[in-house]
Structure 1
Amino acid sequence: MNPAAGAIRAGWSRGLIELRQSFTNGADLWAHFFWPALMLAAMWWLRDTAFGTSGLLLGTLALPSILGMNVALGSVSMSQQLTADREDGTLLRAKATPNGMLGYLVGKVVSVSGGLVADLAILVIPGAFIVPGLVLGGLDSWLTVLWVLALGLVATLPAGAVLGSVFTSARSQGLITLPVLGLMAISGIFYPIAALPGWVQVVAQVFPFYWLGLGMRSALLPDGAVAVELGESWRHLETAGVLGVWAVLGLLVAPVVLRRMARRESGSRLAERRERAMQRVM
């Protein structure tokens, strides 16, 4: 068997094992269900609140946006897992194995992507009963969900791999939390972006959060909901274009950054990080 093909196969198996374990571990189960439950509570609270004079309910507008936001948050999950694996020596062991980094990355993509799809299902299935007005029965709707989801994962997971390579400890992951929360706030997740100032709209449209939310809204909302969007259009071409640019940039930059990070990993660096961690605990 080709060594690279063997590494990909091993990575696929590793990813499925990690995904299965995440649904048998108490802490991971809490992570899977807490955020969807929190979002469903928000949807319940917003279910009867109308947006202006549009006749649309904020809960109906927000649920598809939250689905898109969850896809974008896959980059944060990827970053956190890479950083944790650097600290406990998992990456160093992968580096020491022929084609180990390739298998490791395939495994992470499988486990993170699978976890995201499961989280979306946990959110959308009860959400369909809580939030009125969603369009869930058409084939076109689900095809749009699939291409937005697939392109969104390719656009965001490499960015998460880059962040995981840059930040050297789990403690430093907190540095990306505030910017991510800020992007969520201005990306039309809980309130239509058309109601925000023009310069905020420009900033929001640079990042995937807005476009993933827009793509999901185009799939799951009735045609009349387009009236509250910028330009009164779902802008599928622009959605594919911006997410495609992020995907290309990520696929070009992530391998370079990961190779550089892997070359710098060593037993002495791992020992230094563990010693610093112990000093912080003591």
Structure 2
Amino acid sequence: MSGQAVAFRAGLERGRIEFRQSATSVQEVWGALFFPVVALAVMYMLSGGTVPGADFSLGSQAVPGILAMNIVLNGMVSVAMTLTTEREDGTLLRAKATPNGMTGYLVGKVLGRAGITVAGLLVPLVAAAFLFDGLELGAVSSWATLAWVLALGLLAALPIGAILGSLFSSPQGMGVVMLPMMGLTVISGVFYPVTALPEWLQWIAQAFPLYWLGLGLRSAMLPDAVAAAEIGDSWRHLETAGVLGAWAVAGLVVAPAVLRRMARRESGSSVAARIEKAVQRTV
């Protein structure tokens, strides 16, 4: 068996262990559920409003977008935060010292985080099914669409998280990412139809995976009549698959190269310097 195959198998086992640890950690579970719980509660209180151009609850229309945002937070942002933390404490350096260790590390991290992200989607989805009227979750086609959109969305988001995590040497640097992320949330149709925004903002939103992930989840969970509030009055499945697929391919090509470049620069002295800085921040 080749070294890469051994590393991949080790990554699978690492991913299983990390998912189990996350799923049994109260802090991890609450972190995965906090945003959708708060957002769904807010939208439930606003469920009396209707979607422009369609006689449908605005609260129910926002549910898929909230779940899409939670996928991005639990997937992309969490991977980036974990990567910077484990770079700072020397975990990445130990992985680098193992033959093909970075491959196993990346596979384990992606699979473990994908598992907790899926769990963070399904739990609030079950609650939303009871709280919000109009969600269409009884058809096999709805779950089939949900499955392929979720798979492509994870493949698009998780490598981006690995790339972002490679760019910062400490978790504090990730604060630079959060402000643009909040801005992207506003223009991506998470809480309100994107067609209500100026056309130039619509084009910006469509350049990023969050909009397409939300659109795909809306197509799986909402009646076809609600598509009247979308760009082109359509769910645009082909475009959704194309854009998410393009981001996934680009991320899967770029992320390993960026991680290898980052790992080459890791050394015992650099880790020691970061640990010293971290200790100074806590004093």
Quickly name the TM-score band, shorter chain normalised: over 0.9
User: Which deviates more, 49-58 or 218-227?
Assistant: 49-58
Residue type at the aligned position of 1:129: F
| 1:70-149 map, 5 Å | 70-73=70-73, 74-149=75-150
1:255 aligns to what?
A: 256
Cα deviations by residue, 1:126-181 (Å, 9 ceiling, x for unpaired):
10000100110111111111111111111111111100000110111111010101
The answer to whether the aligner puts 1:33 opposite 2:33 as a matched pair is yes
Instruction: State the match for 1:236 in structure 2.
Output: 237
Matched length: 282
* Aligned counterpart, 1:180: 181
TM-score normalised by length of structure 2? 0.96
The corresponding residue for 1:171 is 172
Give, in whole Å, the separation in 2 of the partners of 1:111 and 1:14: 8
Structure 2: tracts of 5 or more residues without a match: none
Amino acid at match of 2:163: V
Superposition deviation, residue 26 in structure 1: 2.9
- Could you say what secondary structure the match of 2:55 adopts? coil
Amino acid of the residue matched to residue 242 of structure 1? V
AA aligned to 2:112 is S
Structure 1 residue matching 2:281: 3-state secondary structure:
helix
Distance 2:144 2:240 in 1: 15
Query: Secondary structure of the equivalent of 2:24?
Result: coil
Alignment of structure 1 residues 185-196 onto 2, 5 Å: 185-196=186-197
Q: Quick one: distance in 2 between partners of 1:277 and 1:60? A: 44
C-alpha contact 1:47 1:132 (8 A) present in aligned 2 = no
Give the Cα separation in 2 of the matches to 1:222 and 1:22: 35
Structure 1 consecutive aligned stretches of length 4 or more whose deviation exceeds 3 Å? none
Aligned to 2:17: 17
Unpaired segments ≥5 residues, structure 1: none
Cα distance, 1:215 vs structure 2: 0.4
Matched letter for residue 245 of structure 1: A
| Distance in 2 (alpha carbons) for counterparts of 1:39 and 1:248 | 31
**Is the Cα–Cα contact under 8 Å of residues 163 and 258 in structure 2 kept in the other structure?**
yes
Listed as ranges, the matches of 1:185-224 within 5 Å are 185-224=186-225
Instruction: Measure the CA separation in 2 of the matches of 1:215 and 1:171.
Output: 33
Structure 1 residue 121 displacement after superposition: 0.9
Aligned pair 1:227/2:228, yes or no? Answer: yes
1:33-52 counterparts in 2 under 5 A? 33-52=33-52
Distance 2:52 2:252 in 1: 41
Deviation at 1:39, TM superposition (A): 2.2
* Paired letter, 1:251: L
Q: Residue 46 of structure 1: CA displacement?
A: 2.2
What is the CA-CA distance between 1:224 and the residue it aligns to?
0.5
Give the distance between the partners of 1:55 and 1:106, measured in 2 at CA.
Answer: 45
